[in-house]
Structure 1
Amino acid sequence: MTMEQSAAIDPEPGPNELRDPFVRKELKRASVWLGLAAAMALVVLLIQPLLIIFGGLVFAAMLDGGVRLLGRVLPIGRGLRLLIVMLCAVAFILGVFYMTGVQVAAQAEQLRVTLEVQANRLISWASTSGLMPGRADLNGLAQQAMGSFGKLTSWVGTALGALTSLFMVLVIGLFVAMEPRIYDRGLQWMVPSDMRGEFAITIERMAATMRRLLAGRLAGMLFEGVLTSLCLWAVGVPMALLLGILTGMLAFIPNIGAFVSGVLMVAVGFSAGVDTGLWAIAVYFGVQTFDGYVVIPMVARRTVDLPPALTLSSQILASTLFGVLGLALADPIVAMIKVALERNSERAIAEDSGGT
């Protein structure tokens, strides 16, 4: 017998063979980390279309809330209720533009001119007082700031891009609101079968939270817009109707929206005189105080109570990273994350209780 024939052959797999359990385990671990890195890269690259899709889901939640509310008084099919909600929304928008279109258009042009005049006055006063650099240096700084900010929001920098994004949000929201169960089943199909029950519960809670959040937000927008218009008109502030509409629209973005509407309100008020400007300041603080201490707590008890510091921080981060659309959708995103974390905590507590 030769030496080759007498040599013992080791039947165990080598470390470079896929049959080796250790190699297979390490490959699975590496594939998980690579998949996670690839998913994060895709989210970064596709954040703009993802935000548009999420905006469509927010709009779908608004439509679904109206359909459910209408279902309490009209026992008809979901499709007919959705059609009624869409027709009412379109009729409201067209009615507002028809009744106030000419006035709002004239006031919008007057508002632009007024803000330019007030801004120039403020800059001139600050420059002569030594509080700000000269106009040439200031223009250079402003151009640099706008240039850096424009890089973050270049995808909505044109009217065509903004209208296209808005159209896609409306279309996605309408399709999802028409047949929500189809998309719900599709999402569940993408989840492992043993996790679909938990996933369905989380999605249902997210949808209910979104409906409550948007219902409260719309109620707050309506309240702030109407009350601001009436108060400004009562104290003689010009362009009260337009300022009320802008205040109501900006109320969709808490904290930052109130600040922007306040700046507009005060600037227009002082354009008509010192007394009118002081009245505008009083109206702003009065409406915001009443809204913050009376309306928001009442709405928050029935909707979603998000801490103000968390809301403002999320808005700053979202606006810096994703631009205007990120700023508008910061609250719904935080609310959805909050629901997911709360559900995960409940499941962990239930598992610990069952284990003990």
Structure 2
Amino acid sequence: MKIGLLTLPVSENYGGILQCVALYNYLKHQGHDVVLLYKVNDAPLWKSVIKRLFSYIPFYDFKNLKSNYKKKIFHLPFVNYCISHKSANLKSTEDLSAAVKKYHLDAVVVGSDQVWRLRYINDKYYKSFFLDFVDDEVKKIAYAASFGKDYWEGKGDEAEIGRLLERFDYISVREESGIDICKNTFGVTKDVHHVLDPTMLWSKEFYMSLMPSNSFNKKISLLTYVLDEADDKKRIISACIEKREILPDNVLHLKGFGDKKRYYTVPEWLEAFSKADFIVTDSFHGVVFSIIFNKQFVAIANKDRGLDRFISLLGMFNLKDRLIFDSDFNPECFKSDIDYNNVNCKVAEQQKESLGFLKGL
């Protein structure tokens, strides 16, 4: 089939990039002809101009505009290497509809990541992520779509979104709560499946093939990947260092808390996870790749970014005890080990179900 893949804009976020790379390449591996439909936010022209001007002001990074733009450009070679067929920027319903016709698509797949979280898709064309631009004769599929939280953040649009979801041929969500939202908030009557994030469709060998030969010469006894710096999280990291008797030189901060803040390429980010002995993260995909590489880890609950994502993922593999909260944690969690024999069996079972969903399209 000729498939259009619609997800959040692939930019500076490691998890966002890798989930897109994983699903795009899995669909290609299945023999499909895939194009990434590159939907971008429909910001007014004046706002786009102002943002670009702010990005050029020296020694000033207004709302991280400059650093985010640099990161997007920084990751572009990797994205272009892994995703060979990508549309031009598409903003409106009309743009997306024209792309479906231009590429003669047989199906459009929306997912994965938080493509159904209003906070992240909130422009006047947000219903594009519910495929309002796709005609009836083209298949409509959701793979591992996430609402981010255990409720829909919108209000007053439930009936219309429910109508759009009823047009889908196949629906799957990344969190178990997504099934309840589809059924109880939007009144969906058809089956809604719970599947893995697309990054977990591949084994670690797929990601190792994307890594550089050796970017890190030192031992990584502790790896931290913390999206939101806070004193409580620093206290958790310090407790981990003390409990595991880790030397300061053997700690690598991929984001936050480091004295020398630098950008890491996606392959370097993957390599760091693969070489770490222990990982502390507040990132959903930080947890995912800890599991993929069979690492000992703890996940710091990240309520603002969507706690339900962590609960669903960890619950799937009986790992809820790895979730700790800023204000209440037992330092003994840094010494207890995960039995990956059991976890890998559960991952294999979930992979079989998720791959079965995709093969049945």
**What TM bracket, shorter-length normalisation?**
under 0.3
Structure with greater Cα Rg: 1
Larger RCO (CA within 8 A; separation ≥ 6): 1
How high is the TM-score relative to the length of structure 1? 0.22
How high is the TM-score relative to the length of structure 2? 0.21
In terms of fraction of residues, the more helix-rich structure is 1
